[in-house]
A and B are shown apart, each in its own frame.
Chain A
Amino acid sequence: MTEMQALQEMKFQPKDFEFAHESQELEKDEVMPARSAWKDSVSLFARNKGAVIGIVCIALITIFAIVAPMLSDWKYDAIDTSLQNIAPGAQHWFGTDNYGRDLWVRLWQGTRISLFVAVAAIFIDVVIGVTYGMISGYFGGKVDSVMQRIQEVINSIPTLVILTILLMVMKSSLFTIILALSFTEWIGMSRITRAQVLKTKEEEFVLASRTLGAGSFFIIFKEILPNIYSQMIIMVMMSIPNAIFYEAYLSFVGLGLPIPEASLGTLINDGFNTLTIYPFQMIIPVVVFSILMLSFNLVGDGLRDALDPTMKEM
């Protein structure tokens, strides 16, 4: 018991202790180059070989799509039955189709349309989808409920029905296709955006921003948006082939482009009919289409990595 008492009485003096880390400041370490985030991203993107190859391919295909139909002696819609199904050669570089139309010109003419559809799809995704998802996710509550119900209603109407109705009012044209796309194309995107916003807006750094007095505009564009880029880019890249195929499918059921027009989708469909006899009619557009898709995906991956600062050390 006496030992116990002795222990209880033993007391620490203030000088028994000293503050940890009080004198030692954090060591200074080597200087990182001061560059803007934008430049960082560009250099990171340039170092990604796949992404560079992808962007070069897209650029080349785009240039061909613009220039080739203008420079060629042939017209994409000139029918000449004496020139049916010629194999690729010096006269017709990619051969001719069933109606004697030059496939070189038709291919690039078609690529033009398909690229246009792709760009329109990106535009619809970003402008309608992202905005819708952002508002719905960020403001939440009743706004969210109402917007989600509206979206569900739109999503539940089959696109083909919408398109058929549209075609009763309008002529079948590229514009009609894009209008049809903009009815439903953005829904996947807005869902992903909403989910990401819901997740990100509860993060502590958003709260911190709020305690500093940031407005909704600042929080959305400076705090939330940069953190959901990667999911959005992946979503956009996935929606491009969807849109191009969708256009081809519409043409296939006769609701798409009017007859003499071409797109990669219609070319592939037409070529498919004569695949066993004239395989080149299908293989060439398929190759171009594949390269285009691959390039979009490579660029998308590269973009995602370039915008992610945690990748910068590698």
Chain B
Amino acid sequence: MTEAQPILEVKNLKQYFKVSRKFTVKAVDGISFKIMPGQTYGLVGESGSGKSTTGRSIIRLYKPTDGEVIFNGKNISGKMSKEELKLLRTKMQMIFQDPMACLNPRRKVMDIIAEGLDIHHEYSSQAEREQKVYDMLELVGLSKEHANRYPHQFSGGQRQRIGIARALVMRPELVIADEAISALDVSIQAQVVNLMKKIQKKTNTAYLFIAHDLSMVKYISDHIGVLHLGHLVETGTTDEIFNNPIHPYTKSLLSAIPEPNPRVEKYRKSASYDYKTSGIDYHKGTEHLVDGTHYVLATDEEFKEWTKK
């Protein structure tokens, strides 16, 4: 149907964690979505909804329980061949949540950024390695003098830039940003998000942007998926989700966004949503097409009721 091949296609991904013999945590329970090259897919949801787990399953920090992850036309959810593993480890990268914890405090910035190059031997001389690192530092708005420092000598925003440089030095086609800006203060968030957008324009990298800050997701994403309790309750383009939310959980999330205008904010009412009392069972729901690429998880009756108004 679509002309372009999606860079990433997730089909019915499940990630369970066996806590004990009787108890299994279903962190991600059958979600499906696609990411097109050069686009940003925002994954939102509350704490514990399985956002980070999804990202980590896709990049194979965990072994998915079930489902398929197709990256660049290759299935990477099962056992991988050497080439597939190398493709995954070079062309898919991750930016981490905590800029304080994601850089090894005992290594210099130069070595941190060049780590991927070192592992995959992607340079022929020391000068080339250095040049690649310097280029990356420049791309993320740091100077090459910073290469000889240790992470603790940088501020949070600068460290996150180093984290981004480490991911981008491999020239990835997909970057998973796992709450990449949540730990930064608001003024720095803008810095980093704008940097990420700028880089996307330059390199045509696709992003899977995991966040809980809806206004930031709206700003950066082309498509949005709303995740709740391991289920993707609604997905569509940013406009579709923000202008025509169908699922009560999405509505509740959107109503919680603060208004910048204080006089309007005063009258903003946030809709509350409680899964237990709402009578909705995610397991019974199936995907319903609203229009375009806008899907919602609902049973037939629920779907009729929600779209009535």
Contacts and interface: CB of A to CB of B under 8 A. Distances in A.
Contacts of A312: 150
A12 B102 contact: no
Contact of B115 (A209, A226, A229): A209
A20 B120 contact: no
Interface string B134-147: 00000001110101
Contacts of B187: 20-21
Contacts, number: 109
A75 B97 CA distance: 68
Contact of B61 (A4, A34, A211, A310): A211
B94 interface: yes
A12 B142 CA distance: 34
Nearest to B198: A22
A204 B101 contact: yes
Contacts of B149: 32
A26 B141 contact: yes
B148 A34 contact: yes
A165 interface: no
A215 to B, nearest CB: 8
Interface string A270-314: 000000000000000000000000000000000000011110110
A212 B96 contact: no
A250 to B, nearest CB: 39
A82 interface: no
A221 B115 CA distance: 13
Contacts of B105: 227, 309-310
A22 B194 contact: yes
A222 B145 CA distance: 23
Given A21-B187, A25-B141, A212-B93, A227 B104 contact: yes
A203 interface: yes
A149 interface: no
A210 B115 CA distance: 11
Given A4-B267, A12-B260, A309-B152, A213 B107 contact: no
Contact of A19 (B59, B170, B190): B190
A25 B59 CA distance: 32
Nearest to A309: B150
A153 interface: no
Contacts of A210: 61
Indicate the member of A10, A30, A207, A312 with the most B CB atoms within 10 Å: A207
Interface residues of B, number: 48
A34 B260 CA distance: 47
Given A12-B261, A226-B104, A213 B94 contact: no
Interface in B189-207: 190-191, 194
B97 A204 contact: yes
Contacts of A31: 145
B191 A213 contact: no
Contact of A227 (B106, B142, B191, B194): B106
Interface stretch (B31-39, B65-73, B82-90): B82-90
A212 B89 contact: yes
A20 B97 contact: no
Contact of A213 (B96, B98, B119, B263): B119
Nearest to B266: A7
A77 B143 CA distance: 68
A205 B101 CA distance: 6
A220 to B, nearest CB: 13
A214 interface: yes
Interface string A191-214: 000000000000111011111111
A213 B101 contact: no
A223 B104 contact: yes
B191 A310 contact: no
B150 A310 contact: yes
A309 B154 CA distance: 13
B149 to A, nearest CB: 6
Contacts of B153: 313
B248 interface: no
25 contacts: A10-B263, A10-B264, A20-B187, A21-B190, A29-B145, A204-B98, A205-B102, A205-B104, A207-B61, A207-B94, A208-B163, A209-B104, A209-B115, A211-B89, A212-B119, A212-B170, A213-B86, A213-B90, A213-B116, A213-B120, A223-B104, A226-B104, A309-B150, A310-B105, A312-B150
Interface of A: 4, 7-8, 10, 12, 19-22, 25-26, 28-35, 37, 203-205, 207-215, 218, 222-223, 226-227, 229, 307-310, 312-313
Interface of B: 59, 61, 85-86, 88-90, 92-94, 96-98, 101-108, 115-116, 119-120, 141-143, 145, 147-150, 152-153, 158, 163, 166, 170, 187, 190-191, 194, 260-261, 263-264, 267
Instruction: Give the top 7 A-B pairs by smallest Cβ distance, nearest first.
Output: A213-B89, A226-B106, A204-B102, A204-B101, A309-B150, A212-B116, A20-B190
Given A32-B148, A203-B101, A212-B116, 20 more contacts: A4-B267, A7-B264, A21-B187, A26-B158, A37-B108, A204-B97, A205-B102, A208-B96, A209-B115, A211-B61, A212-B170, A213-B85, A213-B90, A223-B104, A227-B105, A309-B105, A309-B106, A309-B150, A309-B152, A312-B150
